[in-house]
Amino acid sequence: PPEQTTLLLLEGVHTFGRMGNNLIEFLHSLQFARDNDAVVGVIMGSWPMHLILDMWMAIHDGDVAAWRAFMEQAFCIRIFDSPEETEQYKEVIHMETRDLFMYRFKGPLNQYIEFQGHILRTLFRSYNNGIGVNMRQKPVKDMCSVIEAIFGNEKHSAVYSVVHSRSLEGEPGRILLGRIAGKVDCDPVAALDMEPEYVKAILEPLGMLEHPILFITDNQRPEILEKLLADPDIGPNIRLIPEEASWVGGDITLAVMADVFIGNPASSFSGFIAKSRVSLGYDSNYMFRGKNDDGEWVDTCDGRCIFNKKVMRSMA
């Protein structure tokens, strides 16, 4: 009953950071509520609604009531039309999105991965397929549209890798990756620079240099792509996402469904992709790499590291 229930209320449209951060904020809100015996309440039209519906759980046939019931059941949340509806609750907790981003689970890592993985699987079970509308009543896009644009009728059998290049505004990115490297001994710059030697060391042993390599980037450092295109082993198989087809949801799906994903642990966008892949059973994720004493590139941390608060801090 409401009079015995504590509510964590998500409201407003202002968020902390870009989409990768916003996804963490939503995941952390559900974790906070679970850890503190509370229920997440969401105001209609607030930031989580826009964030989710653009990619997952679209409203179908204009049936807002059915969509609302589905959302509430899927995430064990309550959706309100206005803050006044929450006045009957025992306690209403208001947290800035920055505080949600900074929240850290203090229990065992396996418990954290289990619950976060459950949320991620819940999202992807209801990915948008181009049918329905979002919170603004605009038609949603198909999450598989980028895969379709690149591979067409071969999309179900396509074998490919994705390289996600994220520079993170230069020096701040190097500081952040350097801090992560200090925890797990991965290279402090390799995932930022994506040199051909680094990418080849991952793909060649897997036999993936013979297959398409899709490149996703923030375009802050065009020289990274130029080097990869100039490499005789990598260049011939580099494929760029057509500008007219590229959008964030399609890029996420392309990366999540890849046979191999090479990302940057300092990027919350890469982190979301890696967490999603781990949760969906894809284990070819290359985020934490360093050279051993013999000068060979090796993994310095397993797939669970992307969820580890000791390594990733608030980005976990």
pLDDT in tens, 187-211: 999 999 999 999 999 999 999 999 9
pLDDT in tens, 8-19: 999 999 999 999
pLDDT score recorded for residue 120: 98
- 316 vs 307: CA distance, rounded Å: 5
Query: Contact at 8 Å (CB) between 269 and 17?
Result: no
pTM (two decimals): 0.96
Average pLDDT estimate for 212-239: 95
* Displacement of CA 158 from its chain's centroid (Å): 22
For residue 169, pLDDT beyond 80 = no
pLDDT of amino acid 85: 97
Is-contact 225 193, C-beta < 8 A? no
Name the β-bridge partners of 215.
Answer: 163, 240
> CA–CA separation, 101 vs 24, rounded Å?
6
Per-residue pLDDT band at 172 (split at 50, 70, 90): confident
Is the predicted pLDDT of residue 124 greater than 90, yes or no?
yes
- 164 - beta bridge partners? 216
Q: What is the mean pLDDT of residues 101-128?
A: 97
Burial 272-292 (b: 16+ CB within 10 A, else e): bbbbbbbbeebeebbbbbbbe
Q: Is the pLDDT of residue 217 over 80?
A: yes
Computed over every residue of the chain, the mean pLDDT equals 96
Q: Indicate the SS3 state at residue 106.
A: coil
The more confidently predicted of residues 36 and 171 is 36
From CA 160, how far away is CA 195, in angstroms rounded? 19
Question: Has residue 170 got a pLDDT over 80?
Answer: no
